[in-house]
Amino acid sequence: MRLSRYFLPILRETPKEAEIVSHRLMLRAGMIRQESAGIYAWLPLGLRVLNKVCAVIREEQNRSGAIELLMPTIQSADLWRESGRYDAYGKEMLRIKDRHEREMLFGPTNEEMITEIFRAYVRSYKDLPLNLYHLQWKFRDEVRPRFGVMRSREFLMKDAYSFDLDQAGARHAYNKMFVAYLRTFQRLGLKSIPMRADTGPIGGDLSHEFIVLASTGESEVFCHKDYLDFAVPPADTNFDDIAGIQATVDKWTSLYAATSEMHDAAAYDAIPADRRVSARGIEVGHIFYFGTKYSEPMRAVVNGPDGKEHTVHMGSYGIGPSRVVAAAIEASHDEQGIVWPDEIAPFKVALLNLRQGDSAVDAACADLYAKLSAKGVDVLYDDRDERPGGKFATADVIGLPWQLMVGPKSLAEGKVELKRRATGERELLSPVDAVARLTA
RNA sequence: CGGGGUAUAGCGCAGUCUGGUAGCGCAUCUGCUUUGGGAGCAGAGGGUCGCAGGUUCGAAUCCUGCUGCCCCGACCA
């Protein structure tokens, strides 16, 4: 993409309403624009990141055996009356009426709807297990939205729903999502730790929040240091290996890890002092087994091998991609701006023409741009008629992993400069070698 | 939902106390000179001062009501 033809409204100064670093940088980098309190437009650069986050989530959901569909944002109030949540949900639910005065709502989540879809078609245990997910915008009319897309009213969510014949099956479904989440967050470049979450009236131990460690995180977390070095399950993990998956989950739940709400000071103190981690974190995912909470009132039943009806056991598994974008920035930035993890960077390389109008520099840039693009590298070519300083600052704030700088001085010696955003390391090398390095 | 702020040009702000017809920096546009970490000079454009009433010869400024947004707390992917 040529920057001169792109839409990238960089802000030189920080808008005063932005309090936390991810919000400030997302505004400065031209990723989002606030349209109302807690409601944001995703500008081109932000959308590229959001889409990359979603792509990774999809791949890992699919790998674990979950199946994608897409449910609407607008739901009928009657559906929610079946589960009793229409009255229970409160003012966080945005309720609306259509032209026929029918009561509708903008979905804050989709348990009722997925249960309705399931019960309409599935009759036999032979169709189980089943895990259906979608990526869709949700709306929760929070009293006080804040921190940009970190806590917005409208937000994107990946929500998966599992259906099993019994609790044992549901546990395996839960474990598969647990493993998929470990893989997902690692690929997104985030260090996540599953922490025991409150299961409310359902009880049991099948609820975990996935917390990303970031010094600016919203909540206080406590865990055993060994978690930081645990190996994440590999891509060829066999998700049908019930014992194997269980072993992985057992390992990742063997040590102490809790948010302040679930904190047990005695258990934490039992950890050797040099292994204790007290830090801050951001919740980016939540997995939950809730048994027959919805299948019971909504009559989602299948015939079992015993010829009898069984109410299915369900679980739901959420990741907030829009929040993940903000969390990634909280976890990875510096004074200059964002430092994107490679997998979710909006572009891989910023190609900086440091002397726009110089025929040799222009030609070298055009050649590099063509060669990199031809090899499938996402390049943002800064071909604006700007001074070098401005181009450096722009590249730094939007945080692309690599900066490839072409100026008259080094080019006279047949060299261009490649800078790694994260470390600041610079290297002078020939254009041919630069392309080789970026396509390796 | 309680408490506290705030609203003036695209962004950041001054002007409001003490009423007299709107200003600064950055950004934008034109020209020339510049060009490896946010350049210089010259010129230009851009604001019904959040909205609605009221007081006054005259309101960004005083009064009343409303709305948006932000921050702190209780609540949340």
Q: Tens of pLDDT along A144-180?
A: 898 899 999 999 999 999 999 999 999 999 999 999 9
Confidence of residue A43 (pLDDT cuts 50, 70, 90): very high
On average, the pLDDT of chain A sits at 94
**Which of A 399-428 have CB under 7 A of nucleic chain B?**
403, 405-411, 416-417, 419, 426
Confidence of residue A88 (pLDDT cuts 50, 70, 90): confident
Distance A140 CA to B68 C1' (A): 20
Structure tokens at A371: 């060669």
Q: What is the ipTM of this complex?
A: 0.93
Nucleotides in chain B with any atom closer than 7 Å to protein CB: 1-2, 11-13, 25-27, 34-39, 68-77
Check if the beta carbon of residue A275 is closer than 8 Å to that of residue A257.
no
Question: At residue A91, does pLDDT exceed 90?
Answer: no
Question: At residue A203, does pLDDT exceed 70?
Answer: no
Distance A327 CA to B26 C1' (A): 30
Confidence of residue A204 (pLDDT cuts 50, 70, 90): low
Closest residue to B1 (CA, C1′)? A143
Q: In this predicted structure, what is the pLDDT of residue A374?
A: 98
Distance A143 CA to B76 C1' (A): 9
Lowest mean pLDDT among A132-136, A194-198, A199-203, A310-314: A199-203
* Cα pseudo-dihedral A70, A71, A72, A78, rounded to 10: 170
Distance A254 CA to B59 C1' (A): 70
* CB A142 under 7 Å to nucleic chain B: yes
- Nucleotide of closest approach to A397 (CA, C1'): B38
Check if the beta carbon of residue A118 is closer than 8 Å to that of residue A163.
yes
**Which of A 34-93 have CB under 7 A of nucleic chain B?**
34, 36-38
Give dist(CA A130, CA A116) in Å, integer. 14
* CB A143 under 7 Å to nucleic chain B: yes
A207-213 and A337-338: which strand pairing? unpaired
Question: At residue A50, does pLDDT exceed 80?
Answer: yes
Distance A12 CA to B47 C1' (A): 21
Check if the beta carbon of residue A114 is closer than 8 Å to that of residue A71.
yes
Strands lying side by side in the sheet with A74-76: A74-76, A103-106, A94-97
Q: Which residues does residue A68 pair with via DSSP β-bridges, in sequence order?
A: A133
Question: At residue A199, does pLDDT exceed 80?
Answer: no
Prediction pTM value: 0.96
Kindly state the DSSP code that residue A312 receives in the 8-state scheme.
P
Report the pLDDT averaged over residues A245-274. Answer: 92
Question: At residue A365, does pLDDT exceed 80?
Answer: yes
- Nucleotide of closest approach to A320 (CA, C1'): B77
Q: What is the pLDDT of residues A231-252, one digit of tens each?
A: 999 999 999 999 999 999 999 9
Distance A69 CA to B46 C1' (A): 49
Report the pLDDT averaged over residues A365-377. Answer: 98
Number of helices (H) and strands (E) in chain A: give both, helices first.
Answer: 13, 23
Confidence of residue A259 (pLDDT cuts 50, 70, 90): confident
Distance A40 CA to B9 C1' (A): 24
Distance A351 CA to B35 C1' (A): 17
What type of residue sits at position A264? D
Q: How many CB atoms lie within 10 A of CB A89?
A: 16
Residue A154, CA distances (Å) to A49, A78, A109 in order: 17, 22, 12
* Cα pseudo-dihedral A204, A205, A209, A212, rounded to 10: 170
